[in-house]
Amino acid sequence: MTENVWNEVDHYLNELFVGSDPALDAALRDSETAGLPPINVAPNHGKFLNILARTVGARTILEIGTLGGYSTIWLARALPEGGKLISLEAEPKHAEIARANIARAALSGKIEIRPGKAADTLNQLLTESREPFDFIFIDADKPSYCEYLQLSLKLSRVGTLIFADNVVRKGAVADPSNHEALVAGARRFNQMLAAEPRVSATAIQTVGSKGYDGFAIALVTSLT
């Protein structure tokens, strides 16, 4: 009953605030056809990310976990002329579907999908002399979130916004007897983020078409 209401309200909100969008709709359709798991952000959540990235005036965005490129398209659309998004994806098939979805959205010029394990590609990014990222979206394997946070901070400046998906896991994160890898990963991440002196952070619970979960958001306030 409750989940049904969440679904209906998400449907209502998405029709109202997002509507049909050929490139995004096709990205979801082709991701599903290719057998990708339907764990992309919801449309209203994608638009939320887009608005956040525009609010901070992001010119460079880092995404950890591409899947079929649905959130990638939302985020890249926030970029100004000359802006760049790098998205990290370990599964070659996901990266391939994402590249096709991104090409159809006419965003190939702004987006680079880097294949490989994100811990490796993040360390690779650290060796390149590049500007810090303005916005970082963490959304890959949950057990690695702590490592991704540490590496993300090294790729940040004061003012970088870090957004992490899936940190509530149906509420299981607040149940210390739950030791599932996804849940424990999110719990360790929340603990690390809360204790991290270089950021000011909070987390918000969400319900909707993707069930009951939540996100964390952190503003980098110092580099030391």
Q: Binding residues for ligand DHB, per CB under 6 A?
A: 39, 65, 139, 165-166
From the list ligand SAH, ligand DHB, Mg ion, none, which binds 206 (C-beta under 5 to 8 Å, kind-based)? none
Q: Does 40 bind ligand SAH (CB under 6 A)?
A: yes
The answer to whether 66 touches 72, Cβ cutoff 8 Å, is yes
Cβ distance to ligand DHB smaller for residue 34 or 39? 39
Q: Does 213 bind ligand SAH (CB under 6 A)?
A: no
Between residue 84 and residue 143, which ones bind Mg ion under the rule CB under 5 A? 139
Taken as a whole, the chain contains a residue count of 224
**Dihedral sign from CA coordinates of 184, 185, 187, 192:** positive
Tell me how many degrees the CA angle 106-135-164 measures, rounded to the nearest 5: 105
One residue of 99, 113, 165, 220 binding Mg ion per CB under 5 A: 165
Tell me how many degrees the CA angle 69-70-75 measures, rounded to the nearest 5: 90
Minimal distance in Å, beta carbon 1 to ligand SAH?
27
DSSP 69: S
Rg of the chain over Cα atoms, rounded to whole angstroms, equals 17
Q: Does 117 bind ligand SAH (CB under 6 A)?
A: yes
Cβ distance to ligand DHB smaller for residue 59 or 209? 209
The answer to whether 175 touches 222, Cβ cutoff 8 Å, is no
Task: Name the site residues for ligand SAH (rule: CB under 6 A).
Answer: 39-41, 65-67, 70-71, 88-91, 94, 117-118, 139-141, 144
